[in-house]
Amino acid sequence: MNLCHGCDADCCRYISVKIEAPDHEADIDEIRWFLLHEKCSVYLDLDNDWMLEVKTPCSFLKDSKCMMYKDRPKVCREHDAEECEINGDDKPYKVWFDNVKQFDAWLKERKK
């Protein structure tokens, strides 16, 4: 069974990179800066890694299909369709922030 059949290639429409955990004021400020930009989100994944997600489609995505499938990067080859955001049973994150207001509220709650 092809788990990607009928999918809109959501995994090809963003990049995620690991960032510093907000343990210091400089890290907090950097996350706030990220969240001031359009199409940027920050989240804590299930492995407790802090990640920056930027919504931007792959240049080789056409009609939800990869135009360089045979030569796609390793990160694409290793993507687990069973655990992706569409097919997985659980949310692939512990906390998610789309804006500074959400992040500041989370920080405030943690200080209590």
SS3 letters across 40-81? EEEEEECCCCEEEEEECCCCCEECCEECCHHHCCHHHHCCCC
Among 47, 30, 25, CA closest to 97 = 30
**Model confidence at 5, in pLDDT bands (50, 70, 90)?**
confident
pLDDT at 103: 98
pTM score, whole prediction: 0.87
> Is there a contact between 9 and 61 (Cβ–Cβ < 8 Å)?
yes
For the chain, the domain total comes to 1
**What is the span of the domain harbouring residue 42?**
10-111
Question: Which has more confidence, 2 or 10?
Answer: 10
Is 4 a member of any domain?
A: no
Flag whether 59 is in a domain: yes
Assess if residue 51 is contained within a domain: yes
pLDDT digits (tens, 9 = 90+) for 7-35: 788 889 999 999 999 999 999 999 999 99
Residue 63 region, left (φ>0) first, then alpha (ψ -120 to 50), else beta? left
